[in-house]
Chains A and B, each alone.
Chain A
């Protein structure tokens, strides 16, 4: 059994009413891998994770974790996985230690091992000094760390993290990833993480790009960049006439047409010819080298950030561009 992949997913389909949340998704996660599910909000990442944690049942298809079928033996499957959900699931009115001890009891960790392991885990996530504090007094970054520690109290070898860094400031995010990498090295963990922060998946072994319930690509970040990566030009035309002309001139190259135009580029020659034609009628131009960002854009025609932009962000963006006075 130790040879079995950590996770196998075969043709998993899930519907919510008329929307198809997952459309015959299949892939495997190898043992010891740091595997990322990358996609915008609503892509189906969390649904997939919930199926793997046995909270949801798939409509069809087979999924296993550590070789155990999650639909046939949910209790058995749960015993060997650790989960950190997107929303915090700690008890605010218990102390740090009590939360961990609760977890240990519920997972049947014998008392002798339990207290030792709790202390170890607290040390790793640097919360030892907080062990007797009520959880409600912790910052959100600390709560997240505590949740990771908790997910490992029962010596799980497979860890699911659903958007572990969402809502954290940059510093806490870096710290979070340091712990994840460290735990992986020390304990040979398999980690499956969902995220919509593209910069976070650069360090993962493999990335699964998912959108509208479909797997678009699975590979290492390097290979993805080599295969789907594309030099992109982001440009803002001076006026609408120019925009229309550019759209007409390069119909095959357009990736996106919103405030700024995004065009596929294949090198300096193209940039020069574009400049030759439009020159000063282009207000702003940026050349973007192949990145996971551009991979995602070429695969989906969307930017990850599109999904995250709230009304407030949009107003902020508008203000940054000069607000009303740009017209």
Chain B
């Protein structure tokens, strides 16, 4: 084989990979667009959390306990939970995309892809990118409620927010694929996903803050130690914190931690998913 031929073949190989990844991505997006149920969920959830729970609890969130002011918080409750609701929507949609993995496996479509000349890594990449795109879209649906939560959106904050959303969606979709690989039936998945999504969400400092103005020791007085511990080891906490930084310019932790944790999660879960997928 001459060098030119080798180069041509390599270029063909690359085009094939890109075309294949695009095809799988496109399929995921098309299926999601046609799935009305999923879209309805993506719209209802933010309405529920922001408009009903957020507005309802807003007056009670004043940083005082029994009339004694303990926290000085530079935001309202609505502003506080807004970024977390974005994370919640992404969480749900990403994990749901794992259902499509089970679906493909049980209904044979996976075979069609597995006998194609695409290597596993491209198949998984297309799948995860597709799921992540849909999840990111559902996350950005929440932005429509920004005026009600008194959140001013600037170009910079939206751009930064979308970037963080994508990283989170990519990481969580990969995690969903890993989950799907271990689940044999749809029924099992429903139970499992609720058992994973809701604890992750509530333990991510999403609906209540771990106040940064308190020292660690003081915080443990306000909250029981086990709760602080669980919140602090939950990677989603740092994702929510990063998004809070983007949208309300408030961070409970060092602002550099969030993006690092997100990138770490994305790389870690994707590699793990790839490992599982190659085995299967």
Task: Name A residues whose Cβ lies closer than 8 Å to a Cβ of B.
Answer: 53-55, 75-76, 78-79, 81, 83, 85, 87-94, 98, 101-103, 105-108, 150
B111/A108 in contact, CB under 8 A: no
For the complex formed, measure the closest distance between the CB of B113 and the CB atoms of chain A, giving whole angstroms: 7
A83/B27 in contact, CB under 8 A: no
Q: Known contacts A94-B27, A102-B27: does B19 contact A108 (CB below 8 Å)?
A: yes
A105/B23 in contact, CB under 8 A: yes
Q: How many residues of B contact A (CB 8 A)?
A: 27
B112 CB within 8 Å of chain A: yes
Residues of chain A contacted by B35 (CB below 8 angstroms)? 93
Chain B binding site: helix, strand, loop or mixed by DSSP? helix
Q: State in angstroms the CA–CA spacing of A108 and B110 once bound together.
A: 18
Q: Mark B82-120, 1 if CB is under 8 A from A, else 0.
A: 000000000000000000000000011111111111110
A89/B22 in contact, CB under 8 A: no
Q: State in angstroms the CA–CA spacing of A53 and B111 once bound together.
A: 10
A108/B112 in contact, CB under 8 A: no
Cross-interface CB contact of B109 among A54, A78, A89, A108, cutoff 8 Å: A89
How many residue pairs link A and B with beta carbons under 8 A? The number is 72
A103/B112 in contact, CB under 8 A: yes
What are 8 contact pairs spanning A and B, CB under 8 A?
A78-B117, A90-B112, A91-B109, A94-B27, A102-B27, A105-B22, A106-B19, A106-B116
Cross-interface CB contact of B116 among A78, A91, A93, A94, cutoff 8 Å: A78
Q: Known contacts A98-B30, A102-B27, A108-B16: does B108 contact A89 (CB below 8 Å)?
A: yes
B15/A108 in contact, CB under 8 A: yes
13 additional contacts (CB under 8 A) given A106-B117, A108-B20: A55-B114, A76-B117, A79-B117, A81-B115, A85-B111, A87-B107, A88-B107, A91-B27, A93-B34, A98-B27, A105-B20, A106-B24, A107-B116
Q: Mark B104-139, 1 if CB is under 8 A from A, else 0.
A: 000111111111111100000000000000000000
Closest to A102 in B: B23
B118/A106 in contact, CB under 8 A: yes
Residues of chain A contacted by B20 (CB below 8 angstroms)? 105-106, 108
B31 CB within 8 Å of chain A: yes
Q: State in angstroms the CA–CA spacing of A98 and B118 once bound together.
A: 18
Residues of chain B contacted by A103 (CB below 8 angstroms)? 112, 116
Q: State in angstroms the CA–CA spacing of A88 and B110 once bound together.
A: 11
Q: State in angstroms the CA–CA spacing of A140 and B189 once bound together.
A: 29
Q: Mark B156-185, 1 if CB is under 8 A from A, else 0.
A: 000000000000000000000000000000
Q: State in angstroms the CA–CA spacing of A87 and B105 once bound together.
A: 11
B31/A91 in contact, CB under 8 A: yes
Q: State in angstroms the CA–CA spacing of A81 and B117 once bound together.
A: 10
